[in-house]
Amino acid sequence: MRVALTVADFLDRAETAFAAATAIVDEPNQPAAAVPTTTYSELARRARAWQSGFDALGVGVGERVAVVSHNAARLQELLLAVPASGRVCVPVNFRLRAEEVDYIVRHSGASVLLVDPELDADLSGIGAAHRFVLGSRTETELMRFDTEPRAWSDPDEDATACINYTSGTTARPKGVQVTHRNVWINATVFGLHLRAWEQDVYLHTLPMFHCNGWGLPYVLAGLGAKQVVLRKVDGAEILRRVAEHGVTLMCGAPAVWNAVLDAAQDWDGELPGRDRVRIVCAGAPPPTRTIARVESELGWQFIQLYGLTETSPILTFNRTRPADVALPPQERARKLTRAGAPALGTRLRIGDTGEVLARSNTVLAGYWNNPDATAEALAGGWFHTGDGGSLDDEGHLTISDRKKDVIITGGENVSSIEVEDCIYALPGVAEVAVIGVPHPKWGETVVALVVPAPGSTVTDQDIISHCKTHLAGYKSPTAVEFRDSIPRTATGKIQKFKLREQYRAARPT
Amino acid sequence: MRVALTVADFLDRAETAFAAATAIVDEPNQPAAAVPTTTYSELARRARAWQSGFDALGVGVGERVAVVSHNAARLQELLLAVPASGRVCVPVNFRLRAEEVDYIVRHSGASVLLVDPELDADLSGIGAAHRFVLGSRTETELMRFDTEPRAWSDPDEDATACINYTSGTTARPKGVQVTHRNVWINATVFGLHLRAWEQDVYLHTLPMFHCNGWGLPYVLAGLGAKQVVLRKVDGAEILRRVAEHGVTLMCGAPAVWNAVLDAAQDWDGELPGRDRVRIVCAGAPPPTRTIARVESELGWQFIQLYGLTETSPILTFNRTRPADVALPPQERARKLTRAGAPALGTRLRIGDTGEVLARSNTVLAGYWNNPDATAEALAGGWFHTGDGGSLDDEGHLTISDRKKDVIITGGENVSSIEVEDCIYALPGVAEVAVIGVPHPKWGETVVALVVPAPGSTVTDQDIISHCKTHLAGYKSPTAVEFRDSIPRTATGKIQKFKLREQYRAARPT
């Protein structure tokens, strides 16, 4: 018997088998947005009210529902409810500027836009056929608690569940179409490798919109685990929540763990979670020293993951193997800087140019309304990651260089081309190259190399403040260096690899 | 991207990511059959030699390869290699009599028959186009280690991976067609719920042929876990292996755990595996007292699973929930007698007649060459388990009665009709009804109720020895009771439910 693998599977098991279990503890002190502690039965009831609400509004199956929100219980429920109802969820990065959000809402053709109350004022100009601010009005005006519940939509497993916009090699973000099957296999296989279970307590240190929280909002619901919302990353607050809720599991970019390690210096008393917490790190791998400190100072198990928004994201997974348990801590940590071994069902190979290629059920169906980019990414039946890497004799992947000009800072993807476009708009700039350079806290930071036009008086502060006006803060350069020229290949391409090289040496290990 | 979910995924990950890890420790002191301790790299090399051997023999993709073997490293490698090579594996119960094996080999149309050396003499009359005794001759005459390895067959995920013959409501066993997708989802979801990982050490207390070891031979390979072969269930030997190999995980019918509990009485010193071992029990649930003893006397975690050969087998899973950890031991054990909550992706409902119905990707594609039985089992888009049950307010299933006349004794399915057929062949028997009655060690035992023909002098020993001649030992009645008549319904059906009722009261709890 074939039954479609769908997002509803997770919601369904949560409701059937874990009705009375705590599903979500929302962020406290957020009256406008807060849902109090929710059971999985209540979560499923609310998800049905969303479904009936979309029905009543005339939003058809397959239509897009965009959500711009900080981490919140409501976002978690929408990640499940929107695809389970047969609509397509478009979770938007809450750090984007209004014009960036506007582009995504328009490009995805979203007929519903749901906005975090904290972001309402900034996004007041952005609309869709139906625009709602998440909170009490959504519950009275959109959700329908009074209608007879009906079964979840039963889409084909290849139907689109989410469109996740990501900055890549182009100026505009591309919409990654993630199918129900993609979500299901990513979440289940990640849960398998993580050994997630009903006794886990998960703290949302990762933005839920980001590859849909890497899949944990789905599989943890299916396993009946407790989830604790965290709206803003703050090292000391993370330690407090770990202690308060008995947290066992967290995910995040290296910057999150650096923030925790910093806060641990000032922590009074015994640090919480020793020998109980496991953390998963993705994005640029942190220095060996950070990994060693997480394991020794915090006593938390460190796990590395590698993937892209285009791969749902899991491709590889790296946890200390039985054979390595007895290694000296520094050596063990060094092995954990590798991206890891392919996840179950994922095949990797290194292409002729040194590029990492992947075949997996977690690879995207395509880019939304962008057949050319889709064909390019999936050329030859393999997904082209754009990252350079190598496979060692333990079958582990190490990423050596990102071929695409994507900067990853604090876990966020930044398209260097998008930032260059923005800087080029400023008078007095003759040429610009934007690169990521290693940064101990953020993994990478954005640096602009600028060739000024003759006679230009443009300053580094002019450039930075111009970027901050038009782009999300994390995309704006933290430094500008003026140059006489920028090296190019014979065919005129900027050699960013050479530009980055001078910074590589400074990288802590 | 859609990539077929196949058995090769497990083998592939084992070889890529766990090449140097110990795969299998074979049964010692079995020179004819033994492969010494094997790494996953060696296992994959041997699997490729099987593939090249089938190629050289002219056995085509989709052809059936039947294997009759006790648990052995070679059986484990065949469970992976045969489907990965695109052929269909037909693992046959090693306890069957020659004529029963012959039926399965013929019915499945197997072109290759592989026989355990210990069974060769008993099965000397059974052939196929190609018949080999597992052992050194297989390696020189069939397997091809010298050919260039080629990629695994890349079948559609709906292609048949195995045909598992099971005794059911008919006199002859039926061949359950399990697809690659069935195997993949069963193994992955079972691994997820079990929290299986690379640090597990699994002892094969369950016959590998039986629902293909419930899926663990696949997922444990994919996770790089060590597997220890056990050829014959013996309580004391299980305890010795648990101690010797640091075993963490085992599966089996209630009779296995009763044997271990018995052996524990005579164990010298501290019992091995306390707070480390988890066991999974399926078949008829054991009495509450057995569960409580496993948890208190052995200190092993008890997990209940419910499923059928037709469902790959996982349908439900029952492990003590966080909310129940603090319950009194007896109460906790009582909750563990339930079949459990539906596994991820499984929907259950109770039909009008009280029958448990299931929809899941673990449900069989069909019965081999038996469209009528397939249509009946899958009528209305739900799989009809034939078992009566109920769902409680915790979403857990409890099996109250088996509607089909299947007896489960020591984890083996026995078709009462098959045994009746056999007894009817004996002169002097007017009428017979075979039922399973509760048994403290075997779960159920086979009892024959016989109405003798007028003037007949047939004895209970005549009947038992007649059965032992024609059927596997476990199918033969352990007791015969003579009756004047057997109750029937208005339409002439024997009311086995009524026959069993008198024994229910005697059931220990």
Pick the CATH number of A414-504 from 1.25.10.10, 3.40.50.2020, 3.40.190.10, 3.30.300.30: 3.30.300.30
Check CB contact under 8 Å for B341 and A181. no
How far apart CA B427 and CA B457 sit, in angstroms, is 10
> CB distance from A154 to chain B under 8 Å?
no
Question: 10 Å Cβ neighbour count for B226?
Answer: 24
Nearest to B395 among A16, A193, A323 (CB): A16
The dihedrals phi and psi of B505, each to the nearest 5 degrees, come to -60, -30
Q: Which of residues 355-374 of B touch A (CB under 8 A)?
A: 359-361, 363-365
Chain B residues touching A383 at Cβ < 8 A: 1
Per-residue model confidence (pLDDT) at position A404: 64
pLDDT in tens, B47-98: 999 999 999 999 999 999 999 999 999 999 999 999 999 999 999 999 999 9
Chain B residues touching A18 at Cβ < 8 A: 395
How far, in Å, are A178, A180, A185, B1, B494 from residue A89 at the CA level?
Answer: 10, 11, 18, 19, 56
How far apart CA A383 and CA A272 sit, in angstroms, is 41
Closest CA to A126 of A147, A151, A105: A105
Using only C-alpha atoms, chain B has a radius of gyration, in whole angstroms, of: 22
The dihedrals phi and psi of A408, each to the nearest 5 degrees, come to -115, 110
How far apart CA B198 and CA A317 sit, in angstroms, is 13
How far apart CA A210 and CA A91 sit, in angstroms, is 8
How far, in Å, are B288, B300, B455 from residue B330 at the CA level?
Answer: 7, 15, 52
Nearest to B188 among A19, A192, A378 (CB): A192
Q: Is A471 exposed, middle or buried (0-12, 13-18, 19+ CB in 10 A)?
A: buried
Distance from CA of B374 to the nearest CA of A (A): 11
With a cut of 80, say whether residue B2 has pLDDT above it. Answer: yes
> CB distance from B27 to chain A under 8 Å?
no
Pick the CATH number of B349-402 from 3.30.450.40, 3.30.470.30, 2.30.38.10, 1.50.10.20: 2.30.38.10
**Tokens describing residue B506:** 């005697």
How far apart CA A501 and CA A506 sit, in angstroms, is 10
Give the CATH class of B407-504. alpha beta
How far apart CA B344 and CA A17 sit, in angstroms, is 10
Check CB contact under 8 Å for A19 and B394. yes
pLDDT in tens, B167-189: 765 668 899 999 999 999 999 99
CA–chain centroid gap for B390, Å, is: 24
Confidence of residue B267 (pLDDT cuts 50, 70, 90): very high
CA–chain centroid gap for B51, Å, is: 25
Q: Which of residues 259-318 of B touch A (CB under 8 A)?
A: none
Residue of A nearest to B13 (CA): A344
Check CB contact under 8 Å for B361 and A1. yes
Nearest to B344 among A19, A21, A188 (CB): A188
Check CB contact under 8 Å for B1 and A188. no
H helices of B67-170, in order, are 73-84, 98-108, 136-141
Give the helix/strand (H/E) hosting A217.
helix A216-223
The dihedrals phi and psi of A230, each to the nearest 5 degrees, come to -135, 120
Nearest to A395 among B16, B195, B347 (CB): B16
Complex ipTM more than 0.85, yes or no: yes
The dihedrals phi and psi of A450, each to the nearest 5 degrees, come to -125, 130
Following DSSP, what letter does each residue of B417-479 receive, concatenated? HHHHHHHHTSTTEEEEEEEEEEETTTEEEEEEEEEEPTT----HHHHHHHHHHHS-GGGS-SE
Chain A residues touching B347 at Cβ < 8 A: 3, 12
Distance from CA of B288 to the nearest CA of A (A): 22
- Work out the angle at residue B298's Cα, subtended by the Cα atoms of residues B292 and B304, and round it to the nearest 5 degrees: 50
Check CB contact under 8 Å for A341 and B222. no
Which residues are bridge partners to B445 per DSSP?
B437
Q: Are the beta carbons of B477 and B449 closer than 8 angstroms?
A: no
H helices of A109-171, in order, are 136-141
Per-residue model confidence (pLDDT) at position A442: 87
How far, in Å, are A9, A334, A374 from residue A62 at the CA level?
Answer: 18, 46, 20
How far apart CA A209 and CA B190 sit, in angstroms, is 29
Closest CA to A2 of B179, B211, B349: B179
Q: Across residues B146-166, what is the average pLDDT?
A: 88
Chain A residues touching B396 at Cβ < 8 A: 17
Question: 10 Å Cβ neighbour count for A456?
Answer: 16
Chain B residues touching A341 at Cβ < 8 A: 13, 16-18
Per-residue model confidence (pLDDT) at position A35: 67
How far apart CA B272 and CA B291 sit, in angstroms, is 17
How far apart CA B501 and CA B486 sit, in angstroms, is 14
The residue with tokens 């469109």 is A163
Its pTM stands at 0.88
Distance from CA of A240 to the nearest CA of B (A): 23
**Percentage above 70 pLDDT, chain B:** 94
Q: What is the pLDDT along chain A (509 residues), one digit of tens a residue?
A: 999 999 999 999 999 999 999 999 999 877 555 667 899 999 999 999 999 999 999 999 999 999 999 999 999 999 999 999 999 999 999 999 999 999 999 999 999 999 999 999 999 999 899 999 998 788 889 999 988 777 787 779 999 999 999 876 566 889 999 999 999 999 999 999 999 999 999 999 999 999 899 999 999 999 999 999 999 999 999 999 999 999 999 999 888 998 999 999 999 999 999 999 999 999 767 778 889 999 999 999 999 999 999 999 999 999 999 889 999 998 999 999 999 999 999 999 999 888 999 999 999 999 999 999 999 999 999 999 988 889 999 999 998 776 666 788 988 888 887 788 789 888 888 888 899 988 888 888 999 999 898 889 999 999 999 999 989 999 999 999 999 888 776 555 677 777 877 776 554 44
Closest CA to A137 of A122, A115, A119: A115
> CB distance from A183 to chain B under 8 Å?
no
Following DSSP, what letter does each residue of A297-335 receive, concatenated? II-PEEEEEEE-GGGSSEEEEE---GGGTTS-HHHHHHH
> CB distance from B200 to chain A under 8 Å?
no
How far apart CA A236 and CA A263 sit, in angstroms, is 5
> CB distance from B151 to chain A under 8 Å?
no
Per-residue model confidence (pLDDT) at position B508: 44
Give the CATH class of B8-341. alpha beta
Distance from CA of A457 to the nearest CA of B (A): 51
With a cut of 90, say whether residue B417 has pLDDT above it. Answer: no
Could you tell me the end-to-end alpha-carbon distance of chain A, in angstroms, rounded to an integer?
51
Q: Which amino acid type is present at position A366?
A: G
Closest CA to A204 of A221, A171, A229, A168: A229
The dihedrals phi and psi of B457, each to the nearest 5 degrees, come to -115, 15
With a cut of 80, say whether residue B373 has pLDDT above it. Answer: yes
Check CB contact under 8 Å for A188 and B192. yes
With a cut of 80, say whether residue B157 has pLDDT above it. Answer: yes
Nearest to B195 among A197, A364, A394 (CB): A197
- Work out the angle at residue B302's Cα, subtended by the Cα atoms of residues B301 and B305, and round it to the nearest 5 degrees: 140
Residue of B nearest to A312 (CA): B1
Closest CA to A297 of A254, A338, A266, A340: A266
> CB distance from B321 to chain A under 8 Å?
yes
Per-residue model confidence (pLDDT) at position B34: 59
Q: Are the beta carbons of B24 and B41 closer than 8 angstroms?
A: no
Beta-carbon contacts of A461 under 8 Å, excluding residues fewer than 6 positions away, are: none
Nearest to A321 among B184, B198, B342 (CB): B198
> CB distance from B490 to chain A under 8 Å?
no
* Tally of CA atoms within 13 A in the half-sphere of B148 that contains its CB: 1
Bridging pattern class, strands A355-359 and A383-391? antiparallel
- CA dihedral of residues B291, B293, B297, B299 (deg, nearest 10): 10
How far apart CA A89 and CA A108 sit, in angstroms, is 10
Domain range annotation of chain A: 414-504
Check CB contact under 8 Å for A395 and B197. no
> CB distance from B380 to chain A under 8 Å?
no
Chain A residues touching B199 at Cβ < 8 A: 322
Q: How high is the mean pLDDT of chain B?
A: 91
Check CB contact under 8 Å for B17 and A396. yes
Q: Are the beta carbons of A434 and A497 closer than 8 angstroms?
A: no
Bridging pattern class, strands B278-281 and B314-318? unpaired
Per-residue model confidence (pLDDT) at position A508: 44
With a cut of 90, say whether residue B384 has pLDDT above it. Answer: yes
CA–chain centroid gap for B1, Å, is: 34
Check CB contact under 8 Å for B3 and A345. yes
Per-residue model confidence (pLDDT) at position B258: 86
Check CB contact under 8 Å for B1 and A158. no
Distance from CA of A463 to the nearest CA of B (A): 41
